[in-house]
Chains A and B, each alone.
Chain A
Amino acid sequence: MAIIPKKNEMPTQEPKVRARNFNEVALGYTEEIALAEAQRCLNCKNRPCVEGCPVNVQIPDFIAKMKTGDFEGAYEVINATSSLPAVCGRVCPQEKQCESKCTLGIKFEPVGIGRLERFAADWHNSHATEKPKIPAPNGHKVAIVGSGPSGLTCAGDLAKKGYKVSVFEALHVAGGVLVYGIPEFRLPKAIVAKEVETLKALGVDIETNVIIGKTLTVDELFEAGYEAVFIGSGAGLPNFMNIPGESLKGVYSANEFLTRSNLMKAYLDDPVTPIMKGGKVAVVGGGNVAMDAARTALRLGADKVYVVYRRSMEELPARREEVEHAIEEGIDFRLLNNPVEILGYNNPENPRDPKNGFVTGIRCIKMELGEPDAGGRRRPVEIEGSEFDLDVDTVIMAIGTSPNPLIKSTTEGLEVNKRGGIIVNEEGLTTRANVYAGGDAVTGAATVISAMGAGKTAAAAIDKALMG
């Protein structure tokens, strides 16, 4: 049979339509397309794709099941190593991971592994009726701090081995960045809720409104009988650029903007939590969070949304599919531009003018790429005298975060690096006995899948330490 050179396209909402609603952009493969895409897998001997997966999904095996139409079987293969299949299928940067290693990809487009994974997970979620079997308890208790991707993965892996797992979440709902950060149109909240329910069905307890480091300390968790603690407390305080005007009204961190829209549902018509809607918006940064913020602003009714990024398209770190979708939706990418000041309204005649202190624009300077830096990326350099202003009402800073300081400050013996990230060894063990950590709390802002990989590594290490 001749090889089909291109991946089967994923049906999506029309760009013009979806740019004004919060429904999911990508609609997923149909059964027919999924079968056709599965056929593209060569089932090659050396299975390089598996190496590209941070959670070790046995990709050729699940695709082999799909080829025969055994979608539940495919799901089981994925679920054996991944606690969040429906999430990964949607948000992983597959082009940098499994798909980048695909043998078919040497000559043609790689197999659409992410799309197939998503299909298998969605098929399971809409067809499966059987509850997962609760594994026999092994008598050991583990506490997980934070219910984001690393915490949920660690919890799932341990629960499957019979551990009694409690997950402590500071916010009022479980999911971490999957609920406060990633927007509905990219990852519907119902999907996250479903994955959390699956873990609960495995016997995992989720305690919301408990802030470890404040409500309870790590030491108190040990006193309460937990034998190991995994810290997956996630991204912390947002970074700002330290340029003039960042305290003006209308300047948000991406965390705040997305939290208002996602977690607090400010995107609804008559919300209880306010957010600035409409007008012109500039998002500063080029990562996935910047794409999420820009596309959220558009859906909230913005007339114009700019992404201001200091390097070029080639270096833009966001997931490729999100960038393509953003361009289709009409996001205006201002590349090789860097903000130098945020401009605000000030009426010197009337200090009580209600417009005082609101953003009116952003002053940027043009950049060019110079010599590569230590990391190999070409360093952007300012072009002297090239400043220009963009008229905007809202500025969203999406330039990363620093790890949350709350646990560090109340846990003796827990060492952090100079950026505030918790120091761990290759197994996720911190400088404190029986305390493990992973995800953004360790690395600073990274991806969902790398956090899941860290949760998985730590779960294996905890199991080894407690069971010998």
Chain B
Amino acid sequence: MYKIVRKKELNPTVTQMEIEAPLVAKKAKPGQFIILRVDEEGERIPLTVAGTDPEEGTVKIIFQIVGATTALLNAKAQGEYIQDFAGPLGVPTHTDGIKKVCVVGGGVGCAIAMPVAEEFHRLGAEVTSIIGFRNKDLVILEDEFRACSDKLVVMTDDGSYARHGNVTVPLKEMLEAGETFDLIVTIGPLIMMKFVTLAAKPFGIPVTASMNPIMIDGTGMCGGCRISLIQDGKRVTKFACVDGPDFNAYEIDFDEAMSRGRMYTDFERHAYEKTCNLLKKG
């Protein structure tokens, strides 16, 4: 059992928790993820590590309440326990030799993008962060990004806060004005990462995208998290849990990944509604 040491609501749909898991806290690096189960009968879900405190032995996770399991997790109070917490899994974000980086985060993906931006900042790289949200109420981690970014641009889709538009708008502006980066790291909805990649392509800047496919064991056993890369015209199968979650974005078949992500939409909707009803009854 793993204790929820602290819990904080970042916005009405996004929660931050710090979980007591000393072995994971000692090892986890930005870009890696953990697998958790809320209770004895729960499903296994992957969540990217949003920070660690190795001395206290805690791991920070930030999650959006999108389905049954995240609703159950959110129903747990500070001081309560979750059943299982295993990690760190996946390969850490590649940072070697990067002097100037642009981190592009979208929605709850910013929770993963933030520790990546922090890590680059800590290593002395010049960090530009572009973070986008649907509206003002959903903005998270703005202060944290400001603290680790040399330049920060905040966007909202509906213009209710900061700049109006999506994250590709300022990215394109910068690139067209002659700005250049050693690397662009994008983390967020697949459709956003696809368009960030397309925006960067004419400028020949390397882009990595953090993939978050459906996973079960997360340890390189089931193969459910497979994604297709196109390498030299050939389709190559990779597994996000052991080969990723970061991949060269120019090689990713985003359309296929989006289609695979919708495999269980009906089931998930039903499970979420059932869980919400149960939680309401309390």
Contact = CB atoms under 8 A, between A and B. Distances in A.
A211 B242 CA distance: 12
A237 B221 contact: yes
B242 A260 contact: no
Given A172-B44, A272-B69, A209 B86 contact: yes
B27 A272 contact: no
A240 interface: yes
A210 B23 contact: yes
A143 to B, nearest CB: 14
B267 A274 contact: yes
Contacts of B216: 256, 259-260, 263-264, 273
Nearest to A171: B217
Contacts of B253: 247
Nearest to B219: A170
A214 B263 CA distance: 29
Contacts of B267: 274
B219 A211 contact: yes
B37 interface: yes
A198 interface: no
A238 B271 CA distance: 28
A209 B260 contact: no
Given A170-B86, A209-B85, A247-B256, A264 B242 contact: no
B247 to A, nearest CB: 15
Contacts of A211: 86-87, 89, 219
B24 A237 contact: no
Interface residues of B, number: 42
Nearest to A265: B41
A110 B131 CA distance: 71
A298 B256 CA distance: 29
A255 B222 contact: yes
B57 interface: no
Nearest to B271: A272
Nearest to B241: A237
A182 B165 CA distance: 51
A404 B221 CA distance: 7
Contacts of A210: 23, 86
Interface in A340-370: 354, 356-357
Contacts of B89: 211, 214
Interface stretch (B94-102, B186-194, B223-231): B223-231
B11 interface: no
B40 to A, nearest CB: 9
Given A237-B239, A249-B263, A274-B267, A406 B219 contact: yes
Interface in B16-44: 23-24, 27, 37, 41-44
A71 interface: no
Interface in B219-254: 219-224, 226, 228, 237, 239, 242, 253
A103 interface: no
Contacts of B69: 272
Interface of A: 170-172, 180, 208-211, 214-216, 234-238, 240, 242, 246-247, 249-250, 252-253, 255-256, 259-260, 263-265, 270, 272-274, 354, 356-357, 404-406
12 contacts: A172-B86, A215-B24, A236-B221, A237-B239, A240-B237, A249-B259, A252-B224, A255-B222, A256-B216, A274-B267, A404-B219, A405-B220
Interface of B: 23-24, 27, 37, 41-44, 68-69, 83-89, 216-217, 219-224, 226, 228, 237, 239, 242, 253, 256, 259-260, 262-265, 267-268, 271, 274
